[in-house]
Amino acid sequence: MSEPVPSKFQTGQFILIDKPLTWTSFDVVNKVRWLIKNEIKVKKIKVGHAGTLDPLATGLLVVCSGKFTKRIDEIQGQEKEYTGVITLGATTPCYDLEKPVDEEFPTDHITKELIEQTALSFIGEQEQVAPIHSAKKVDGKRAYEYARLGEDVVLKSNTITIKEFDVELCDCPKTEIQEKSKINQELPYQKGIHVKFRIVCTKGTYIRSIARDFGLKLDSGGHLSELRRTRIGEFCIADAIAPEDVLSI
């Protein structure tokens, strides 16, 4: 009796998913795995993703199935492009909207020209420290585990490269992120200056940390109020699908 022919998902597929807001990257992987297993009637199939997106980020998540899971490290190492909004004038403990604003700062001194000059100063190789509320490992534990316990931990910096950083001022009405996140809706997230950006960077870059550092360089505070990943290497968001449409590829 001949062996059954492996499905395309077992042979290996790159599945480009447009991650929905509030979903974790593991939510996407679990959904894709469940759909594939039910479609091809198998108990197990390898499925993984090539680069985490935070719950309050949307956009491109490269999901690998079958033998293509061996190429996850290769995909993770490629350059990435993001778009989003940095809000100046306030900080949060996690550098995005996962937690409420903890401090506010003046913004009267900030001009369009100063914002553009500051963005240019980020271009090139530099050292970056990850957010304490991140999945970066310290002595075998995730940094966010220390943060949840209120423990102090020192994160080592990583060398990253910012290749492109375009900015422009924008109006920022209440966003979908604010509508769906668990934050206090009365907090002043619409205050301050809102900077729309597009950034191209290397592996390991935390855009939340860019938002924090951007505010610091402007003698103010800053946090990430919107983020969308649009490209990983040659994979583009224009070719991505919703998680539930995975069987259509």
User: What's at 184, amino acid-wise?
Assistant: N
Name the pairing type of β-strands 103-104 and 80-88: unpaired
Q: How far is CA 94 from CA 12, 34, 77, 100, 212, in A?
A: 36, 32, 25, 9, 9
- Contact assessment for residue 195 and residue 109, using Cβ atoms and an 8 Å cutoff: no
| HSE toward the beta carbon, residue 5, CA cutoff 13 A | 2
Cβ neighbours of 162 (radius 10 Å): 19
Active site residues: 54
Whether the CA torsion 88, 94, 98, 102 is positive or negative: it is negative
Distance CA 96, CA 215 (A): 13
Q: Nearest Cα to 198, choosing from 225, 223, 163?
A: 163
Distance CA 128, CA 130 (A): 6
Residue that the structure tokens 């800053």 belong to: 222
Distance CA 143, CA 190 (A): 29
